[in-house]
Chain A
Amino acid sequence: MLSRVANSVYWLSRYVERAENVARFIDVNYNLTLGETDTLGNQWAPLIFTTGDQAIYEEQYKDFSRENVLKFLLFDKENPNSILSCASFARENARTIREIIPSVVWEQLNQFFFMVRSAASLEATLDQPQEFCERVRLASHMLVGATDATMSHGEAWHFSRVGRMIERADKTSRIVDVQYYILLPDAHDVGSALDVVRWSALLQSASALAMYRRQYGKILPDHVADFLILDSRFPRSMHFCLAKAQQSLRSITGSTAGTFLNLTEQRIGLLCANMDYTSIENIIQQGLHQYIDGFQKQLNLVGEAIQDDFFTSKQSSQTQVQTSETVSQTQSNY
């Protein structure tokens, strides 16, 4: 398929997934802060620190009030990672490659964008963002479902899955990190103050509570971390996402397990192998936050390699301009 099209399909699904995850971020924080005392009730700053958009944020807002943080994450056009920006980038990407997208997916995406845009103009959304976040999540599910059910599982579909899985792995790691920021400022605190309510909230925002219960029953922090980081069957765990991304990359290039044909596959292979053979004990020993930080860095390197290996055409003597007139395809990862 065309490099440009592969690029767009990859970013299209990353943006949809990103929007969904921002909605999840907000949700986890809501669940964590609701009913807390003032100290914890005002814990909105960590959301901005975790997403790494602090610089853009501080240019525009004076404080980390709930309202400002929500405005920034939901509808700020200056924030390239706000839900509104994501929905709009996703649609713009889709518009450039409409010929390869099933019409039901396009229509769904279109409606998603209109829904976000009209919600952005309503005061009530900032006041009660949960319902809106729920709708964003559902729209994303619909899109993924429609894509899986109506698009041939060929190269384009695989690129879309790679985009989605890499984005999701990154964001799950950040959802776990929110917890770290709020509750566990030091690595040696892990395992001390157990707060079932808070850990449940975390699981819930990854839609993982029921699945976790079936797996482990009782809520224990290291089990929760294990589940969200290393579980090989839960579709939002970091390990699962990476394995699926690796699988799709293999389908695209035709390489066999245990081998690599390009830098992307080498990097993702190393990262996967590490996850295959590490344990939650190792991770906690190393420090949860440090581990996640390292993971995110390596994941970014995978993203860069994908860009080079598939989207920047090296066959030609000319330098290809990456559709600069359309959408900023190279959004940095937080």
Chain B
Amino acid sequence: MRLAPYQSGESFDEMFAPDGQPRPSGEKFVERLQTLSEGSLQQRQKTADLSLQNMGITFNVYGHEAGTEKVWPFDLLPRIIDAHEWKMVESGLRQRIHALNLFVDDLYNDCKIIKDGKIPEELVQSSKTLRPQCKGYRPPQGVWCHITGVDLIRDRDGQIYVLEDNLRCPSGVSYVLENRELMKRTFSHVFQGMSVAPIEDYPEQLLKTLLDCAPEGVTDPTAVVLTPGIYNSAYFEHTFLAQQMGVELVQGTDLVVENGYVHMKTTRGLSRVDVIYRRIDDDFIDPKCFRPDSALGVDHLMDVCRAGRVTLANAPGTGVADDKAVYAYVPDIIKYYLGEEIILPNVPTHLCSDEKQRNHVLGNLDKLVVKPTNESGGYGILMGPQSSQAERDKCADAIRANPREWIAQPMLNLSTVPTLVEDELKPRHVDLRPFVLCGKDIYVMPGGLTRVALKEGSMVVNSSQGGGSKDTWILRNGNSIPEPHISRAAWEDKNA
């Protein structure tokens, strides 16, 4: 098929250099694309869309009629990253997860980082995601964040930044795996021989990570996935992961605490549970400990957790480290615990709780992106350059009323990837969410969820707001093979 005229915009295009030639990582793929007959790509895209519907790969959108599912939008053209660059990303992610785990553990126990004056106590104490109920708790293996999804973006200059950490219940990994599967089904001869790093072992790695962190002394642990139920937007993912790992998918009503342990109710009576991969937010885990009005969780679950008789993944309270105001301190956190410079930089962030920074933000609202510190899914954000004066005024009032709740960042220009729009390839903005597992080992999935803003010019990639997705290819070129899997002990030695 003809690729010309593909016009990449002002942003960094992942596939094509500004002169219109494919970048080295994309050369082979573009070559193959050109051998496709006219219309063949569209044909395959249709096949893929149909498979998605038949396979029931869907997500729920809140606010629609209960139980409405939308088919997951998927674009056939992958985002390609070469091995060399990925190696850097991988070590950056490992460094980050390792330090954040140490940080959360410290916050709920010795608070050394506060005592040493590296992070203001006020900032931590005022975090909405701090859980005083977890004070003094230390999870098995010292792991708090077992599963992390880190949002990465590439700015105009080609630099990759960490946009945010998702340390609570990051979702999307099932779509990564399904996208790959679909790619293989519908695009096999393009895929073949491309030397793409495999991701299919993720469920195996996840299971291993969970079982590695079982309570001490349990020889043959039982793990389950805890879901809020069928109306949750990520329900598909919950069933997918349970199925892939071969463990039970339970709802709160399936579990009960008796005799100091957690059990599930089975057709043969109660059966003990040792590890819970919970996809329910802290607030809803245990009505006796957190929100009493919640019907999703299990009474007294936290007692069992604190007694070390069940492991929750991620541990309750980890959210404190993905508070966007705390995020601004991650470079300091890494330096404090590991004595290293940050490998993957943060986006420069202004904390509105700091008077000087706040004044700068208030004076430059038309240039900045303002975000609430504790929302996810793209809610509550002001895109300064695209906003009206009224919106900015409203935002300024909100900041003044509660400065701790807001941060601001420069407007970044997300990179683009060619995307099939009607019959042509058009640049569309993307981000990337790789997934990192931390148990006895740290595993970085080679790739991740590439989300794409399907609307022209839009930088909003959230699926709840009309975003789609792409397969992400990490190329294994030559000797430079990524090592997704590394033992934490070995890694610590290397960094000692």
Residues of A within 8 A of B (CB): 1-6, 92, 95-100, 103, 106-107, 110-111, 114, 155, 159, 252, 310-311, 313, 315-316, 318, 320-321, 323, 325-326
Which of B53, B235, B265 gathers the greatest number of chain A CB atoms within 10 Å? B265
CB within 8 A of A155: which of B225, B250, B267, B269?
B267
Interface range, B side: 20 to 34
Once bound together, how far apart are the Cα atoms of A99 and B224, in whole Å? 12
Q: Give the chain B neighbours of A99 by CB distance below 8 A.
A: 225, 239-240, 242-243, 248-249
Residue of B nearest to A318 (CB): B256
B264 interfacial by beta-carbon distance below 8 Å = yes
Once bound together, how far apart are the Cα atoms of A4 and B227, in whole Å? 13
CB within 8 Å for A321 and B267 given contacts A98-B243, A107-B55, A326-B229: no
B253 to chain A, nearest CB (A): 6
Q: Give the chain A neighbours of B254 by CB distance below 8 A.
A: 2-4
B142 to chain A, nearest CB (A): 30
B443 to chain A, nearest CB (A): 22
Q: Give the chain A neighbours of B67 by CB distance below 8 A.
A: 92
CB within 8 Å for A2 and B54 given contacts A316-B258, A318-B256: no
B329 interfacial by beta-carbon distance below 8 Å = no
Which of A5, A159, A310 gathers the greatest number of chain B CB atoms within 10 Å? A5
Residue of A nearest to B228 (CB): A325
B270 interfacial by beta-carbon distance below 8 Å = yes
CB <8 Å contact, A252 and B243: no
CB within 8 A of B230: which of A155, A320, A326?
A326
B56 interfacial by beta-carbon distance below 8 Å = yes
CB <8 Å contact, B266 and A2: yes
Interface residues of B in 49-73 (CB under 8 A from A): 53-56, 67
CB <8 Å contact, A110 and B265: no
Once bound together, how far apart are the Cα atoms of A114 and B58, in whole Å? 14
CB within 8 Å for A310 and B270 given contacts A99-B243, A325-B231: no
Once bound together, how far apart are the Cα atoms of A103 and B185, in whole Å? 15
CB <8 Å contact, A323 and B267: no
With contacts A2-B267, A323-B253 known, what are 4 further pairs, Cβ within 8 A? A3-B266, A98-B243, A110-B53, A111-B54
Once bound together, how far apart are the Cα atoms of A6 and B240, in whole Å? 18
CB within 8 A of A316: which of B53, B225, B239, B256?
B256
CB <8 Å contact, B267 and A3: yes
Once bound together, how far apart are the Cα atoms of A92 and B240, in whole Å? 16
A268 to chain B, nearest CB (A): 16
CB <8 Å contact, B256 and A2: no
Once bound together, how far apart are the Cα atoms of A6 and B254, in whole Å? 12
CB <8 Å contact, A2 and B55: no
Residue of B nearest to A309 (CB): B267
CB within 8 Å for A1 and B243 given contacts A110-B55, A111-B54, A325-B230: no
B127 interfacial by beta-carbon distance below 8 Å = no
Residues of B within 8 A of A (CB): 53-56, 67, 225, 229-231, 235-236, 239-240, 242-243, 248-251, 253-254, 256, 258, 264-267, 269-270
CB <8 Å contact, A4 and B229: no
Which of B236, B239, B256, B264 gathers the greatest number of chain A CB atoms within 10 Å? B239
CB within 8 A of A315: which of B229, B236, B239, B269?
B269
Q: Can you report 30 residue pairs joining A to B where beta carbons are below 8 Å apart?
A: A1-B248, A1-B267, A2-B266, A3-B267, A6-B267, A95-B230, A95-B239, A96-B229, A97-B239, A97-B249, A98-B56, A98-B240, A99-B243, A106-B55, A107-B55, A107-B56, A110-B54, A110-B55, A110-B56, A159-B267, A311-B267, A316-B256, A316-B258, A316-B265, A318-B256, A320-B265, A321-B253, A323-B251, A323-B253, A326-B229
A3 to chain B, nearest CB (A): 5
B276 to chain A, nearest CB (A): 14
Q: Give the chain B neighbours of A100 by CB distance below 8 A.
A: 243
Once bound together, how far apart are the Cα atoms of A106 and B248, in whole Å? 17
CB <8 Å contact, A2 and B270: no
Q: Give the chain B neighbours of A326 by CB distance below 8 A.
A: 229-230
B69 to chain A, nearest CB (A): 8
Residue of A nearest to B241 (CB): A99
Once bound together, how far apart are the Cα atoms of A107 and B267, in whole Å? 27
Residue of A nearest to B249 (CB): A99
Q: Give the chain A neighbours of B264 by CB distance below 8 A.
A: 2
Which of B229, B254, B267 gathers the greatest number of chain A CB atoms within 10 Å? B267
Once bound together, how far apart are the Cα atoms of A99 and B237, in whole Å? 10
Q: Give the chain A neighbours of B236 by CB distance below 8 A.
A: 98
CB <8 Å contact, A325 and B265: no
Q: Give the chain A neighbours of B243 by CB distance below 8 A.
A: 98-100
Q: Give the chain A neighbours of B229 by CB distance below 8 A.
A: 96, 325-326
Once bound together, how far apart are the Cα atoms of A97 and B229, in whole Å? 10
Residue of B nearest to A91 (CB): B56
The 3 A-B pairs of least Cβ separation, nearest first, read A99-B243, A313-B265, A99-B242
Residue of A nearest to B243 (CB): A99
Once bound together, how far apart are the Cα atoms of A98 and B58, in whole Å? 13
CB <8 Å contact, A106 and B56: yes
Which of A111, A316, A320, A321 gathers the greatest number of chain B CB atoms within 10 Å? A316
Once bound together, how far apart are the Cα atoms of A325 and B232, in whole Å? 12
B180 to chain A, nearest CB (A): 15
CB <8 Å contact, B253 and A4: yes
CB <8 Å contact, A315 and B55: no
CB within 8 A of A2: which of B240, B258, B265?
B265
Once bound together, how far apart are the Cα atoms of A5 and B264, in whole Å? 12
A161 to chain B, nearest CB (A): 15
Q: Give the chain A neighbours of B256 by CB distance below 8 A.
A: 316, 318
CB <8 Å contact, A96 and B54: no
Q: Give the chain A neighbours of B265 by CB distance below 8 A.
A: 2-4, 313, 315-316, 320
Once bound together, how far apart are the Cα atoms of A216 and B258, in whole Å? 60
Q: Give the chain A neighbours of B231 by CB distance below 8 A.
A: 325
CB within 8 Å for A98 and B266 given contacts A106-B56, A110-B54, A111-B54: no
B99 to chain A, nearest CB (A): 34
CB within 8 A of A252: which of B230, B249, B253, B267?
B267
Q: Give the chain A neighbours of B269 by CB distance below 8 A.
A: 315
CB <8 Å contact, B249 and A107: no
Once bound together, how far apart are the Cα atoms of A311 and B266, in whole Å? 8
Once bound together, how far apart are the Cα atoms of A313 and B242, in whole Å? 22
Q: Give the chain B neighbours of A252 by CB distance below 8 A.
A: 267
Residue of A nearest to B247 (CB): A99
Q: Give the chain A neighbours of B258 by CB distance below 8 A.
A: 316
CB <8 Å contact, B230 and A96: yes
Q: Give the chain A neighbours of B249 by CB distance below 8 A.
A: 97, 99
Q: Give the chain B neighbours of A2 by CB distance below 8 A.
A: 248, 250, 254, 264-267
Q: Give the chain A neighbours of B266 by CB distance below 8 A.
A: 1-3
Once bound together, how far apart are the Cα atoms of A327 and B131, in whole Å? 35
Q: Give the chain A neighbours of B240 by CB distance below 8 A.
A: 98-99
